[in-house]
A and B are shown apart, each in its own frame.
Chain A
């Protein structure tokens, strides 16, 4: 098997999960009230057939596909403080003639077959710092791998790396400037675990402009920009395969990109929302040209009401 430098930077799917999960629970700048819970199931299909190196040049190593199923639970601890946990289950496949070599002692994943794994638990706390029409909601989050999984490969599941995240959501309805519309933005600074003495911190900005078409239907456009502040440029900075750090090159790649998409959410009932979103890569360096489609189902409920109803019904 020939392994060239042009073939060995794999996919980082964290960005995809951020997009997919962000759309499963809308309105991140606004919190669920005290006692309100929401359970979401999200599914996304993401695909790519090109890598883009640090100069912007295209490399076409083959076809990559990921199917991500994300379960997400959020809860309002108080009216201004909410918690959220989620975990993705990823199924992925690479078909091409430039697979990654297998990590010593582990089977290869770029075999042309589907691979599946739970990836990273993510827990997030949000605090709504304002009470007026401008919602300012700082957040802290931690990402912890659920188990050891392969982080290197065109069809890798994720970074298999502990990560802290700090950020803020800002949101506002645009009435009267643009009636029936809202704008929210999210900035997150991610501090991942260091590998090979390098900690590839990154900044991620997501901007979401939504419009209420009807009382049930909301459409939105979404842009996501990520800038990685440290790490290796693809592929000039990658070590040779004989270097043990070669196997960290996917998690240490300096990914920069801008992805853009749009979608719609529809309130089926007062407690069930469904959402459909599409996004594509418009610009990237040391990354891949991924596109994706995501479907989400969200059920909101009040545990306190359920408990009280059942308790009183049994009296």
Chain B
């Protein structure tokens, strides 16, 4: 694809992004604030709307991921387990791949290999990443049923502290999240 083609695609994808209430694109959202909504077509062809998903679920995990990032792949099994464990309890996972150079085919193959049964979005033009301020893969954004951001950061720490899981538990149990913000590490979301 030519650079002009990529730009047009990015523009088209950008038009799909629904305007959030009170959110400013590109600026990190504070914990407790509404996460900017977005709407996109998943790799399986279904329309995904964050706004609708939060209305229909107790919590939604937006996970920025990559097919080649070592940490994203290392924690993939844990992510799959979380999605399988918490899916029946009303938590929806959605994977977002914003790296410009990863194709839809590669992302779909990778999701099959890793056993991801949740929606995966190819974020053309990294519009969703820009809107949410995502910086790393893997990086998780946990929103509750009202669309408010309850956790942002790593899936697990380098010492494998399962902080995303702790945050999900807290949201489901109506408790404050003990550590709502962590510094996601891994590969940069590649916007080149």
A residues with a Cβ closer than 8 A to B are 26-27, 29-30, 32-36, 76, 79, 133, 135, 171, 173, 175, 179-180, 182, 184, 210, 212, 214-216, 267, 269-271, 300-302, 304-305, 308-309, 312-313
**CB < 8 Å: which of B73, B135, B159, B182 contacts A215?**
B182
In the complex, which of the residues B101, B139, B159, B182 has the most CB atoms of chain A within 10 Å of its own CB atom?
B159
Interface residue count on the B side (C-beta < 8 Å): 32
Query: What residues of B have a CB within 8 angstroms of the CB of A171 in the complex?
Result: 159
A278 to chain B, nearest CB (A): 22
In the complex, which of the residues B73, B153, B183, B185 has the most CB atoms of chain A within 10 Å of its own CB atom?
B183
Given A215-B182, A216-B182, 13 new contacts (CB under 8 A): A27-B158, A32-B70, A33-B70, A33-B71, A34-B73, A180-B178, A212-B179, A215-B179, A267-B183, A270-B135, A270-B184, A270-B186, A270-B188
Distance, CA A212 to CA B179, complexed state (A): 10
In chain B, residues 118-174, which have Cβ atoms closer than 8 Å to a Cβ of chain A? 135-136, 139, 153-154, 157-161, 166
**CB < 8 Å: which of B101, B136, B157, B178 contacts A270?**
B136
Query: What residues of A have a CB within 8 angstroms of the CB of B68 in the complex?
Result: 35, 302, 304-305, 308
Query: What residues of A have a CB within 8 angstroms of the CB of B153 in the complex?
Result: 215
B residues with a Cβ closer than 8 A to A are 66, 68-71, 73-74, 99, 101, 135-136, 139, 153-154, 157-161, 166, 178-179, 181-188, 190, 192
Distance, CA A270 to CA B190, complexed state (A): 13
Distance, CA A309 to CA B66, complexed state (A): 12
Q: In the complex, are the beta carbons of B185 and A305 less than 8 A apart?
A: no
Residue of B nearest to A37 (CB): B70
Distance, CA A309 to CA B67, complexed state (A): 12
Main secondary structure of the interface of B (DSSP, over half): loop
Q: State whether A175 and B135 are in contact (beta carbons under 8 Å apart), knowing that A76-B70, A215-B183, A302-B70 are contacts in the complex.
A: no
Distance, CA A105 to CA B52, complexed state (A): 82
Query: What residues of A have a CB within 8 angstroms of the CB of B178 in the complex?
Result: 179-180
Main secondary structure of the interface of A (DSSP, over half): loop
Q: In the complex, are the beta carbons of A30 and B69 less than 8 A apart?
A: no
B167 to chain A, nearest CB (A): 12
A4 to chain B, nearest CB (A): 50
Q: In the complex, are the beta carbons of B69 and A267 less than 8 A apart?
A: no
Q: State whether A30 and B159 are in contact (beta carbons under 8 Å apart), knowing that A267-B185, A309-B190 are contacts in the complex.
A: yes
A253 to chain B, nearest CB (A): 36
Q: In the complex, are the beta carbons of B101 and A308 less than 8 A apart?
A: yes
Query: What residues of B have a CB within 8 angstroms of the CB of A309 in the complex?
Result: 99, 101, 190, 192
Name 25 interchain pairs, CB-CB below 8 A, sorted by A: A27-B159, A30-B159, A33-B71, A34-B73, A34-B74, A36-B74, A135-B160, A171-B159, A173-B157, A180-B161, A180-B179, A182-B159, A212-B157, A214-B181, A215-B179, A215-B181, A216-B183, A270-B136, A270-B139, A271-B188, A302-B70, A304-B70, A305-B190, A312-B101, A313-B101
Q: In the complex, are the beta carbons of B71 and A305 less than 8 A apart?
A: no
B188 to chain A, nearest CB (A): 7
Query: What residues of A have a CB within 8 angstroms of the CB of B139 in the complex?
Result: 270
Q: In the complex, are the beta carbons of B185 and A271 less than 8 A apart?
A: yes
Distance, CA A51 to CA B8, complexed state (A): 72
Query: What residues of B have a CB within 8 angstroms of the CB of A301 in the complex?
Result: 187
Residue of B nearest to A135 (CB): B160
Residue of A nearest to B139 (CB): A270
Query: What residues of A have a CB within 8 angstroms of the CB of B187 in the complex?
Result: 271, 301-302, 305
